[in-house]
Structure 1
């Protein structure tokens, strides 16, 4: 049975940093501009307040701000960072469910790798630029991008990759004027179909706690919340 710890391994494998460094009780990620998930430091053992400086120094070497990723079991470190003035940023939820399979209307979704320029343009409109495309390219396992179409035009895209028998979806983007019309659902079904054909047994993704629309969609697909984490950084 897949547990929360296993799912964090799926996150790391399907959305990988450029490099990881172990410094004292820390794992420090080199994200190269790819966003918080690939740029934060995480504890790998007990951490004292004096140890925080080690992580900060390593992140400064990388040209990255001091950013920490914290799971519920990191409560002691969470308290230390709070007292040091680090604020909670982007509480995040992990969803997991069995592979689902429903018919996808024809010509509404396609799997394409590498992504087409039109897909990169769609992602860019949602703030997913070349640095995050580079994260997708680094993923080592089976992977693809999903192009979603509606009203005779390309209007959405997503990235899906596998680690073991678990597929995880990242970077779901739909143009604002085409949201709430079922396109994201079709893309999810197509991604699940692609994953099932490659032996996936579980389907997963990560979303921010503020994205209630996405959470409603994922819950309707039979997925449940199985974990959470958040970041801390100084204003």
Structure 2
């Protein structure tokens, strides 16, 4: 059985951050504000002095102009952390489901469209440009940090290029014996024609050739169309998380 703690570990390793500090069992990640995951605490263990750890974390993030933020889920420690953060004034954001499936089953359910998909061990500039245009936030410095996160671990990058233009991309992180789907983006002018599913299919096919047989993804809890699609592809919810964030006055 896949545990919430195992999924937290996989997701952490699939979205690697260079600036990581341990606060008595809490992993504090910073990446200049680029993505919530890369700028949040993953509370893997229970600090011996909880009030002290909270104060240290808040100072740590505020010193870089970042709001203190925690990724909170079933495996977060100590137990009751979510309630502690709520009492301290932390707000809730981005409730997300973590879903898994057997890759073979997903491939049986994905349509076998004839889009030509390129698979590469690294994203080219056009891949980055499309993803950043649709999902990124910030200027060139932020984009460079995001690129470092995307390429910081083993992964495959799929894209569809038509008449010199990249119209769809996706990333498949490879961690241990798991494959994680990320960054599935289609140019708005080319949506609802099967490109996203085609890129996902080719990435998962490549993963099976490398010996991977299980996949995970994250989907925003309120995104009903995406949840319905993933359910049709055999994905089932095994964990969930949300963020707790707070703007604290500088000391």
TM, length-normalised to structure 2 = 0.83
Match in the other structure for 1:53: 55
- Greater shift after overlay, 58-67 or 201-210? 58-67
C-alpha change, 1:155 and 1:146, in structure 2 (3 Å) is: same
Match in the other structure for 2:144: 130
- Greater shift after overlay, 28-37 or 96-105? 96-105
Distance (Å, rounded) in 2 between the aligned partners of 1:152 and 1:21: 42
Matched, 1:69 2:71: yes
Matched, 1:93 2:97: yes
Checking the alignment, whether the CA contact within 8 Å between 1:49 and 1:80 is kept in structure 2 is no
Aligned-residue offset at 1:67: 0.7
Matched, 1:162 2:170: no
Checking the alignment, whether the CA contact within 8 Å between 1:15 and 1:38 is kept in structure 2 is yes
Checking the alignment, whether the CA contact within 8 Å between 1:68 and 1:231 is kept in structure 2 is yes
Match in the other structure for 2:240: 228
- Greater shift after overlay, 16-25 or 98-107? 98-107
Distance (Å, rounded) in 2 between the aligned partners of 1:21 and 1:234: 19
- Greater shift after overlay, 45-54 or 16-25? 45-54
Checking the alignment, whether the CA contact within 8 Å between 1:88 and 1:231 is kept in structure 2 is yes
Aligned-residue offset at 1:151: 9.0
Aligned-residue offset at 1:153: 5.0
| Residues 171-212 of structure 1: CA deviation (Å, up to 9, x unaligned) | 111122322222211121111101111110101111222322
Unaligned ranges ≥5, structure 2: 137-142
1:121 aligned counterpart, secondary structure: helix
C-alpha change, 1:92 and 1:179, in structure 2 (3 Å) is: same
C-alpha change, 1:162 and 1:95, in structure 2 (3 Å) is: same
Match in the other structure for 1:175: 187
Match in the other structure for 2:87: 83
Checking the alignment, whether the CA contact within 8 Å between 1:14 and 1:161 is kept in structure 2 is yes
Matches within 5 A, 1:182-201: 182-201=194-213
TM, length-normalised to structure 1 = 0.88
Matched, 1:145 2:154: no
Unaligned ranges ≥5, structure 1: none
Distance (Å, rounded) in 2 between the aligned partners of 1:45 and 1:36: 22
Of 225, 229, 235, the match for 1:213: 225
Distance (Å, rounded) in 1 between the aligned partners of 2:145 and 2:221: 23
Matches within 5 A, 1:95-114: 95-100=99-104, 101-102=107-108, 104-114=112-122
